Amino acid sequence: MADLSKVHHIVIGYDKIEEYKININILRNVFVKGKDLLITAIYNGSNYNEIEEKYKSEKVNNFIVLKENKGYVWGAIDAIQKGLTFVDTLADKREIVLLTNFDGLFFSEERYNKLVDDFIKSGKPFGAALYVEGEVPFTDLMLFRRKFVSSFYEGMAKVNPFPPRREGDKWNCEKHMCGTLKVIGEMDSLWWQFERDDEEQQGRSYIFHKEYGFGHCHGKHNIEKKLNEYGAFNI
């Protein structure tokens, strides 16, 4: 079973505060070993002074505010890069870094442990689900070996977004992470890929991963369905 005292869990977001609160409560209070996690939140939304004062608490070890938000895509890329660079500033060097969105939640400690164990067994430095349509990594759940973190954030800074291939084709986080891996080396040797279940919810596909009990869930009502399914309540 994974040792959560060796895991640094980073959550990023610019809204989804309701989901963030539930997310952190699950990690800290529902998971039996949740207090062993090192948790960092990266926030780059509006009203950051109010948000920081209200939601910075003993439940997270670090609450970092980015005062500039460059938009949906580049704001997220900035938050990912900030979270990873922050890892290298800490004296507490955790073996595994796991990064999710505010609304990327785990509903089972056992399956969370399995994800970490499977990643370690893979022997690869980066892990993410495969976005089949574009053969790029999903960015709502990524794993890194700590020794690979600096290579990754340095690689992020070297990626040059390519021009749209067709009208309406835009840059996104998935393309940037894929470009980062290509800057560093051979993707196949770096990237541990895992399957994503094709589950529809409000018109969004591939939002849940049953094997690892992970969901990218928008809205409290959708989260509550999964909380009921997994019994993931802090009673």
Kindly report the CA angle at 13 between 11 and 15, in degrees rounded to 5? 135
| pLDDT, mean of residues 88-100 | 95
pLDDT value for 235: 47
What is the bridge-based pairing of β-strands 38-43 and 136-145? unpaired
Tokens of 184: 């560093």
Task: Name beta bridge partners: 127.
Answer: 143, 192
Tens-digit pLDDT profile for residues 27-79: 999 999 999 999 999 998 777 677 777 776 768 999 999 888 777 788 899 99
Distance from first CA to last CA of the chain, Å, rounded? 24
Average confidence score pLDDT of the chain: 88
Confirm whether pTM is higher than 0.85: yes
In this predicted structure, the answer to whether residue 234 has a pLDDT above a threshold of 70 is: no
Residue among 61, 136, 130, 145 at smallest CA distance from 99: 145
204: Cβ contacts below 8 Å, ≥ 6 apart: 216, 218
CA distance 127 to 193: 6
Model pLDDT for residues 129-147, shown as the tens digit of each residue: 987 667 889 999 999 999 9
